[in-house]
């Protein structure tokens, strides 16, 4: 996904504030609360983390699992001074990186800290939309590269079944554009990689593996019934986001020339 000259980017459409839990709706742990009591309460309500207050002031956060054996809340508290904070306008990609590292991110608005993000928030719609834009951008760039470098007959050989019938109907009606338009991401990627020289800069094994990972992730992104976090953690989602951006950048550079290396 390329950044425009004014610095704007589609990746900034979805921001931290869109996936944050409002502080006003939070389940707090009090600094003076017995850890075992806090642990039971948070576990019952299925919270893996919670913000901590002292005398009505926000002082940090705790992981629920650490409370069970703690002598006091202070001993397992992550204070604000050592916590991750982002602006409510920060892009999802930045939140993913911080969650992968810290496990909890406070979100800052105009009046101070007004929300927070935990790994459980990564199944929210804005995160899926973030990945949807990345995957769609890669699909468009791959289609452009394949259309330029691969003979239409080779592309058409990849079109099968009902999709082939639709193409043939469009062809008969003189309304088809290109068989490339009838391919899914996996087919586009395989055609692209088969016509790209192994080891050619920048398409060495690293980028090839990242493109393959994005193809495998696509069905989850495109189907809301498949949770993004099912079988994954925040670190893995951050890695996938980073990989998609790298693949997009490489493809955008590639499609500015006339052929695949």
pLDDT at 258: 39
Confidence class of residue 197 from pLDDT cuts 50, 70 and 90? low
Query: Are both 84 and 193 inside the same structural domain?
Result: no
> Residue 10 has what pLDDT?
63
Q: Which CATH number covers residue 20? A: 3.10.580.10
246/133 same-domain check? yes
Out of 129-143, 159-173, 207-221, pick the least confident. 159-173
Between CA 66 and CA 63 the distance in angstroms is 6
The per-residue pLDDT for 9 is 61
Q: At what angle do helices 125-149 and 92-102 cross, to 10 degrees?
A: 120
Q: How far apart, in whole angstroms, are the C-alpha atoms of residue 108 and residue 88? A: 6
Same domain, 204 and 106: no
The answer to the question of residue 260 being in a domain is no
Q: Are residues 146 and 189 in the same domain?
A: yes
Q: Is residue 5 included in any domain, yes or no?
A: no
Q: What is the mean pLDDT of the chain?
A: 88
Quickly state the pLDDT bin for 1 (edges 50, 70, 90): very low
CB 130 within 8 A of CB 92: yes
Can you give the pLDDT at residue 173?
Answer: 76
DSSP secondary-structure letter at 195? T
Boundary residue ending a domain (92, 118, 144): 118
Last residue of a domain, one of 118, 147, 162: 118
pLDDT-based confidence at 248, cuts 50/70/90? very high
Q: Tell whether the torsion through CA atoms of 211, 217, 223 and 228 is positive or negative.
A: negative
Does residue 178 share a domain with residue 129?
Answer: yes
Of 8-12, 183-187, 192-196, the least confident = 8-12
Euclidean distance between the first and the last CA atom of the chain, given in angstroms as a whole number? 20
Q: Judge whether residue 234 has pLDDT over 70.
A: yes
Q: Mark out the alpha helices in the chain (DSSP H runs).
A: 35-44, 64-67, 92-102, 125-149, 152-156, 161-172, 185-194, 205-222, 234-254
pLDDT for 88-122, tens place per residue?
999 999 999 999 999 999 999 999 999 999 999 99
pLDDT tens track for 45-102: 999 999 999 999 999 999 999 999 999 999 999 999 999 999 999 999 999 999 999 9
Bridge partner residues of 116 (DSSP):
21, 106
Q: 198 and 85 share a domain?
A: no
74 in a structural domain: yes
Q: Is residue 31 part of a domain?
A: yes
Which of 125-139, 157-171, 203-217 is predicted least confidently?
A: 157-171
Residues whose CB falls within 8 Å of the CB of residue 208, separated by 6 or more in sequence, listed in order: 193
What tokens appear for 241 in the block? Answer: 């986001």
In a domain, 259, yes or no: no
Domain hosting residue 59, numbered range = 10-118
Q: Quote the number of domains for the chain.
A: 2
pLDDT of residue 199 exceeding 50, the answer is: no
Judge whether 112 lies within some domain: yes
In the listed set 68, 94, 118, which residue is the last one of a domain according to the structure? 118
- pLDDT recorded at residue 198: 46
């Amino acid at each position: 996904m390329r950044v425009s000259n004014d610095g704007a980017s589609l990746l900034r459409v979805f921001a931290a504030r869109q996936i944050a839990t409002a502080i006003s709706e939070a389940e707090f742990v009090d600094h003076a609360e017995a850890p075992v009591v806090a642990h039971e309460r948070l576990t019952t309500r299925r919270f893996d983390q919670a913000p901590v207050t002292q005398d009505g002031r926000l002082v940090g956060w705790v992981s629920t699992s650490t409370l069970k054996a703690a002598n006091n809340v202070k001993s397992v508290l992550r204070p604000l001074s050592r916590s991750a904070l982002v602006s409510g306008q920060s892009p999802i990609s930045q939140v993913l990186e911080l969650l992968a590292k810290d496990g909890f991110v406070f979100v800052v608005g105009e009046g101070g800290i007004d929300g927070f993000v935990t790994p459980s928030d990564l199944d929210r719609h804005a995160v899926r939309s973030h990945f949807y834009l990345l995957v769609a951008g890669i699909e468009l760039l791959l289609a452009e590269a394949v259309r330029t470098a691969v003979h239409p007959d080779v592309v058409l050989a990849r079109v099968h079944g009902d999709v082939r019938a639709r193409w043939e109907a469009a062809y008969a009606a003189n309304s088809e554009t290109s068989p490339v338009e009838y391919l899914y991401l996996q087919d586009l990627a395989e055609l692209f990689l088969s016509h790209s020289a192994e080891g050619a800069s920048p398409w060495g094994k690293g980028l090839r593996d990242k493109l393959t990972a994005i193809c495998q992730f696509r069905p989850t992104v495109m189907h809301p019934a498949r949770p993004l976090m099912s079988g994954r953690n925040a670190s893995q989602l951050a890695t996938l986001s980073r990989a998609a951006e790298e693949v997009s950048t490489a493809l955008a550079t590639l499609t500015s020339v006339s052929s695949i290396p």
